[in-house]
Amino acid sequence: MSAHPHRTAPALVALSLLLLAATSCVFVQNRYAYLPPGPWRGVLELEYNPIIPNPKGEPLAEKVDLEFDEVTGGQLPFNFDVVYEDDTTFHLVIHNGEEDILVPASDIRAGRDRSVGRDTLRIDFPVYDSHISAYHEENVIEGVWVVHYRDNYRIPFKAYFGKDHRFTALNKKPATDLTGSWAVTFAGDATEDPYPGVAEFQQSGNTLTGTFRTETGDYRYLEGTVQGNKAYLSVFDGSHAFLFEALVRDDGSLTGTFRSGRHYITDWTATRDDAAELTSPDELTRLREDVPLAFSFPDATGDTLSLDDIDGPKIVQLFGTWCPNCRDETNFLQDYLDTHDTGDLQVVALAFEQYGADDERSRAAVRRYAETMDIEWPVLLAGSNDKREAGRALPMLNRVISYPTMLFVNRDNRVVRIHTGFNGPATSKYAEFTESFDNTVQELIQ
């Protein structure tokens, strides 16, 4: 017992205040200005749940005759990290398989909506003409992903801090290992016929990654999981919002559904086939007749440029600023030109935009794309993204079925090769394309 009990209480109070002050200092030092830093799990709600009820329980038109009963309810998950650069500035890193997508701090706005007393967040994807607008509170973000070039296209979005799983935290024993190549048939929809694909999967335990190749391009970096006899894959990159679900049948084949945002859903089936192939991308688009290529289109400032104004052999890229496969191809072209002696080879890009060639929004999109991608070659506004209009813009082609499409043109403005689509770095065909591209360029510049 203390010999001076009247002194004990003040000492304890002083010690308590000292500890409280120290604790408070630590708390302040670890505070963050806006979102908590670290891993987040985002979810896009692709399933449309109208406020108006459906009392008769009638089947939705887009769900009729689907072979596979969806189990995610149209929830497309993806993962991202919040990374602070200083006390108030942060950027995002979106993860899809082997791909990390940086969303720079310059494309993120965080603040306070004083009218409702809530913290706000806007994440722009300027190259793809879309954004996320949301409120956030503590460890939750809630809002919408808005695609500007589609009418009234808004998909509910939520994100949860500290969650690093994609589809589920469960680890059910997989029924099989899906690693390998698969021959795929997509059923299409009311506007298109069935079309082929090749799936390339890599599985490690419950983790599944890979992509689908089609004759118009690949579905980029997909990531997901295998749980029991079901498989799930997704990608979100600001433009693509793809969700794949599949059931492993007793015979080892797959049947499932494929969603692209809210506007597209179809069935797909697949059988294991290590020799599965698609029509060569060099055989899909052809010239109607052997005549020199010719065109004249304006750039984003309104100045018109003709192919005849450009000397030397050329690569003509048909693309859209809204198209991630086109961006992959553009990155490839830039890397190639930076690392190879290409002589007097020229590149010109023809943009086919969501708003058409004469719309200021298209001109702004092209300016933004050229600046963001640091493009040094001419980018011309050739028309809308409707492939029929692309065919009218370049009537010497039998058809345009894909963005991107690449024309290899010699010094006499004659097309020597047409490559449809792009097998990007997410596919097994990327190295093969790189080699064939180099061979063609070397022939052009001789």
Per-residue model confidence (pLDDT) at position 63? 44
CA distance 118 to 97: 34
| 195 beta partners | 186
Mean pLDDT (whole number) for 338-358: 93
According to the model, what pLDDT value does residue 355 have? 87
| pLDDT of residue 90 exceeding 90 | yes
d(CA 192, CA 188): 5
CA–CA distance, 332 with 426 (Å, rounded to integer): 13
pLDDT at 53 over 70: no
DSSP conformational letter for 282? T
- What are the backbone angles phi and psi of residue 439, rounded to the nearest 5°? -60, -45
What's the CA gap between 96 and 425, in Å, rounded? 13
Q: What are phi and psi of 338, to 5 degrees?
A: -75, -20
Average pLDDT over residues 15-23: 46
Beta bridge partners of 159: 42, 141
pLDDT surpasses 70 at 417: yes
Q: How confident is the model at residue 17 (pLDDT cuts 50, 70, 90)?
A: very low
pLDDT in tens, 139-154: 999 999 999 988 899 9
Residue 69: pLDDT band with limits 50, 70, 90? low
Paired with 224 in beta bridges are: 208, 233
Question: And the tokens for 441?
Answer: 């360029």
Closest CA to 153 of 133, 167, 177: 133
CB atoms within 10 A of CB 153: 15
Alpha-helical (H) ranges within 57-176 are none
Helix (H) or strand (E) holding 265: strand 264-272
Quick one: pLDDT band at residue 315, thresholds 50, 70, 90?
A: very high
What does the alpha-carbon distance between residue 308 and residue 26 come to, in Å, rounded to a whole number? 68
What per-residue confidence (pLDDT) applies to 18? 46
DSSP 3-state assignment of 158?
A: strand
CB 220 within 8 A of CB 424: yes
Q: What is the mean pLDDT of residues 110-121?
A: 87
Instruction: Read off the DSSP letter of residue 431.
Output: H
Give the pTM. 0.84
Please give the share of the chain, as a percent, with pLDDT higher than 90. 75
> How confident is the model at residue 115, as a pLDDT?
80
- In the chain, the percentage of residues whose pLDDT exceeds 70 is 87
Q: Cα separation of 369 and 350, whole Å? A: 13
CA contacts within 13 A on the Cβ side of 110: 18
Give the C-alpha distances (Å, rounded to integers) separating 304 from 299, 301, 378.
6, 9, 11
Domains of the chain: 38-52+60-161 (2.40.128), 180-272 (2.40.128.120), 296-445 (3.40.30.10)
Residue 126 is predicted with a pLDDT of 87
DSSP at 72: S
Q: How far apart are CA 40 and CA 166, in angstroms?
A: 10
Residue 13 has pLDDT above 60, yes or no: no
The whole-number pLDDT of residue 7 equals 41
Mean pLDDT computed over 169-175: 94
- Sort 275 into a burial class: Cβ within 10 Å, 0-12 / 13-18 / 19+: exposed
Position 438 pLDDT exceeds 50: yes
Confirm if 287 and 293 have CB atoms less than 8 A apart.
no
Q: 168-177, 351-360, 425-434: which range is least confident on average? A: 351-360
Structure confidence at residue 31 (pLDDT): 66
Summarize pLDDT for 259-289 with one digit per residue, the tens: 999 999 999 999 999 999 999 999 999 998 8
Over residues 343-359, mean pLDDT = 92
Query: Which pLDDT band, with edges at 50, 70 and 90, does 54 fall under?
Result: very low
**271's torsion region: left (phi>0), alpha (psi -120 to 50) or beta?**
beta
Report how far Cα 170 is from the mean position of its chain's Cα atoms: 26
Q: Which residues of 374-391 are buried (b: 16+ CB within 10 A; e: fewer)?
A: ebebbbbbbbbbebeebb
For 321-339, b where at least 16 C-beta lie within 10 A, e where not — what string? Answer: bbbbbbbbbbebbbebbee
CB under 8 Å to 49, separation ≥6 — which residues? none
At 201, which helix (H) or strand (E)? strand 195-204
